[in-house]
Amino acid sequence: MPHNNLFDIIRLLSAIAVVISHHYALSGLPEPKLFRGLSVGHCAVLAFFSISGYLVTQSFDRSKSFFDFSKKRILRIFPGLIVCITLVVFFITPFFSTETPTNYLINILKTKDIIKILFFLEDRIPTVFDEAILKNHIFGSIWTLPYELWCYLILGVSLRIKNHKGTIMILLLSCLLIYNLYSPRPQIVVLRNIIPSYFGLFGTAFFFGALTAKITHKKLIFLLSVLVVSYIIASINLISNPIIFQYLYISSLVLLISLSFSERLIMGKFDYS
């Protein structure tokens, strides 16, 4: 697609924000906040999911078939993930293990931890970083990938059935409902590693981005105005669960800024996400 937008710059800034936020978490310190109850890292992740929803929807519209769309999504995630995991597991973490590098590699191959990590079933490696605050956590930074893959799948199947903005609106409202139902119970886990409250949060941002791909710029500005008014009303306690408006407000603001300006620094020359 033409690079007459700020998607690359916003994603770069979001990536930097995630690194900063993780630095606090790994140091055992509270993460800096931007909005009420939302850390810098959470805002950055919402930006990623909003942009992803927008771009993935456009990718679906350009794809020749559902198989073509699925192939693009798999190639977008797994080649880079496999290279990253292989380099970290076999060439970096052996030197941070309490075992000798040889014993570490033997145990890794025996326990098949690398396969579990690849399929998001595990993000820890025993004996590595034993003294760290988040003990044995190596791949905590990819914990949102399963949520993104589920968003890809749900969006693709839904648009394959009926490619219309109404379909995406149903998905968006469903995620809002999931968040409202499960946010008071964040300890619930389904499908082994999916927390419904987080899926509702990230899905809201993703499908809002997907909906934006189906509407005009003027409608997005109008929608942002509605969200701003709703956020003000929520802030004076007239709405029982006001935080959800913060999520939608961040998503719409990120997309509006991204689509209203362009840049000449990156323009798709490389991918750091």
pLDDT in tens, 38-63: 788 888 999 999 999 999 999 999 99
Higher pLDDT, residue 15 or 237 = 15
Distance CA 114, CA 128 (A): 14
CA distance 71 to 65: 10
Compute how many other C-beta atoms are within 10 angstroms of the C-beta atom of residue 171.
22
pLDDT digits (tens, 9 = 90+) for 202-232: 999 999 999 989 887 666 776 666 666 665 5
pLDDT of residue 102: 87
Report the alpha-carbon distance of residue 260 to residue 32 in Å, rounded: 28
Amino acid 25: pLDDT = 79
Q: Give the residue with greater pLDDT, 188 vs 68.
A: 68
Query: Is the separation of the CB atoms in 139 and 193 below 8 Å?
Result: no
Higher-confidence residue: 37 or 189?
A: 189
pLDDT at 272 over 50: no
Does residue 271 have a pLDDT over 80? no
How confident is the model at residue 203, as a pLDDT? 94
Among 62-71, 173-182, 263-272, which is the least confidently predicted range? 263-272
Gap between the Cα atoms of 204 and 249, Å rounded: 11
Mean pLDDT, range 61-84, rounded to an integer? 92
Identify the DSSP state of 156: H
Question: Could you tell me the pLDDT band of residue 33, with boundaries at 50, 70 and 90?
Answer: confident
Q: How confident is the model over 138-146, as a mean pLDDT?
A: 83
pLDDT for res 74: 92
pLDDT tens digit string along 85-102?
A: 888 888 888 888 888 888
| Cβ neighbourhood burial of 138 (10 Å; 0-12, 13-18, 19+) | buried
Higher pLDDT residue, 193 or 157? 157
- pLDDT confidence band for 238 (50 / 70 / 90): very low
How many other CB atoms are found less than 10 A from the CB of residue 111? 13
Is pLDDT of 77 > 80?
A: yes
Q: Which residue has better confidence, 155 or 24? A: 155
Whether the per-residue pLDDT at 200 is higher than 80: the answer is yes
Q: Which residues pair with 194 in a beta bridge?
A: 190
Q: What is the pLDDT of residue 38?
A: 76
Average pLDDT over residues 240-252: 72
